[in-house]
Structure 1
Amino acid sequence: MALGDAYATVPELKVRLPNLDEVATYDDVLEEALSSVSREIEQFCGRQFNKADAATVREYGPDEIYRLREGSTVTQWVRVDDFYDVTDLVIEVDGAAWTPADYVLHPRNGVVDGMPGWPYYEIHAAGSLSFGTEVSVTAKWGWSAVPAPVKQACLIMAAETFQIKDAPFGVAGSDAFGAIRVRDNRMAMTKLSRYCRDPIRVR
């Protein structure tokens, strides 16, 4: 799925809703529910879970550069937006290109808590190298695939959104449902909690 797409499809959502499999009347409403809930998920998690097919450049400054001193050793890293592929990866620090030997990508091997499939979101300086004031990263942004818990959370909340769309205090912040909000859903929030991070840019 491309950046900005919903995290689930209308046919997947219809499976959760009674008597809608062969009915197209509400397809536009279902699509709007999925889209609005997907944006709510991004706001809750501080990241997005689709992917860009082409590499583009993003800039990072001092606020995204971290330093940790342990004795005489200083470790530096820059926290970036999620990127899932290193084929076209280019890292420049203050205008100078770094080679793969100059940095280490985290999480290592794309594994977090034993779970594979994670994108990279930290770039650590190798050896005695350090980041300057401006870091430019060209990469394919996003996740290689939407995590299953994220898709399930999207379906859970979109089904709830549709089922009570006519309630006075509705559940989605879109024109189709009114200027209202997605209500907290404990099951969905539990599925999403592992994927939260500090808010970062979503382009």
Structure 2
Amino acid sequence: MPLGDPYATVAELKVRLPNLDEVATYDDALADVLDSVSREIEQHCGRQFNKDATATTREYGPDEIYRLREGPSVTQWVRVDDFYDTADLVIESDGTAWMSDAYVLRPRNGVVDGMPGWPFCEVYAAGGAAFGSTVSVTAKWGWADVPAPVKQACLIMAAETFQIKDAPFGVAGMDQFGAIRVRENRMAMAKLSRYCRDPIRVR
């Protein structure tokens, strides 16, 4: 799916909603809900999960270049937006293009906790290279495929968002703790938790 597209389709959402399979009356409303929830997921996770089919350039300044001193050596890296393909990858620092042996991409091999399919999001200086004041990266941005938990969270939240119109004051029910609000969905948040992008604190 291109950047900006929702993470699920109206047809997929209808499966979760009673008596809507053959009804087109609410299709526009369902599409709006999916788009809104997808943007909420991006804001919550600090990243987006679709992909750009063509490589474009993004720039990163000195505040996004991190350094970690270990004894006499200093490790430098820049945290960039997610990119899923290295075919058209170009790394430049202060206008000078780097050879492939001057940097290392992480996560290595696109694997996190044994799970493949993750995009690259960090560029480490290697072989004695050092970043200047700016870094530019030309790449195909995004994820090769939307992760299944992200898609499921989108459908969960979209179904509840659509049904909230029938819930007085946004309350979908009661439990031993009191009112359950539709937007406070622990299942969706749990599915998204692994994909939240935390800031690097070491400078």
Q: TM-score, normalised to structure 1's length?
A: 0.90
Distance in 2 between the 1:169 and 1:65 partners? Answer: 46
Q: SS of the residue aligned with 1:50?
A: coil
Runs of 4+ aligned residues of structure 1 deviating over 3 Å after TM superposition are 166-171
Q: Deviations over 1:88-107 (max 9, x none)?
A: 10111001000111100000
Q: Deviations over 1:110-149 (max 9, x none)?
A: 0001110000000000122111110011000000000000
Q: SS of the residue aligned with 2:39?
A: helix
Letter in 1 for 2:118: W
**Structure 1 position 198, deviation (Å):** 3.8
Q: Deviations over 1:32-73 (max 9, x none)?
A: 110000000000000000000000000001111111111111
Q: SS of the residue aligned with 1:165?
A: helix
Letter in 2 for 1:33: V
For residues 67-146 of structure 1, what are the structure 2 equivalents within 5 Å? 67-146=67-146
Greater Cα shift, 124-133 or 38-47: 124-133
Aligned length in residues: 190
Distance in 2 between the 1:182 and 1:129 partners? Answer: 51
Is the Cα contact below 8 Å between 1:83 and 1:142 reproduced in 2?
Answer: yes
Letter in 2 for 1:193: S
Letter in 1 for 2:134: E
Q: SS of the residue aligned with 1:82?
A: strand
Is the Cα contact below 8 Å between 2:164 and 2:182 reproduced in 1?
Answer: no
Corresponding residue for residue 46 of structure 1: 46
Corresponding residue for residue 57 of structure 1: 57
Gaps of 5+ in 1: 172-180
Q: Deviations over 1:148-200 (max 9, x none)?
A: 000000000000011112545459xxxxxxxxx9722100000000000147x
Q: SS of the residue aligned with 2:51?
A: coil
For residues 158-173 of structure 1, what are the structure 2 equivalents within 5 Å? 158-167=158-167, 169-170=169-170
Distance in 2 between the 1:120 and 1:80 partners? Answer: 8
Distance in 2 between the 1:118 and 1:71 partners? Answer: 31
RMSD over aligned CA atoms reads 1.6
Q: TM-score, normalised to structure 2's length?
A: 0.90
Q: Identity of aligned pairs, percent?
A: 81
Q: SS of the residue aligned with 1:149?
A: helix
**Structure 1 position 6, deviation (Å):** 0.2
Is the Cα contact below 8 Å between 1:37 and 1:158 reproduced in 2?
Answer: yes
Gaps of 5+ in 2: 172-180
Q: SS of the residue aligned with 1:164?
A: helix
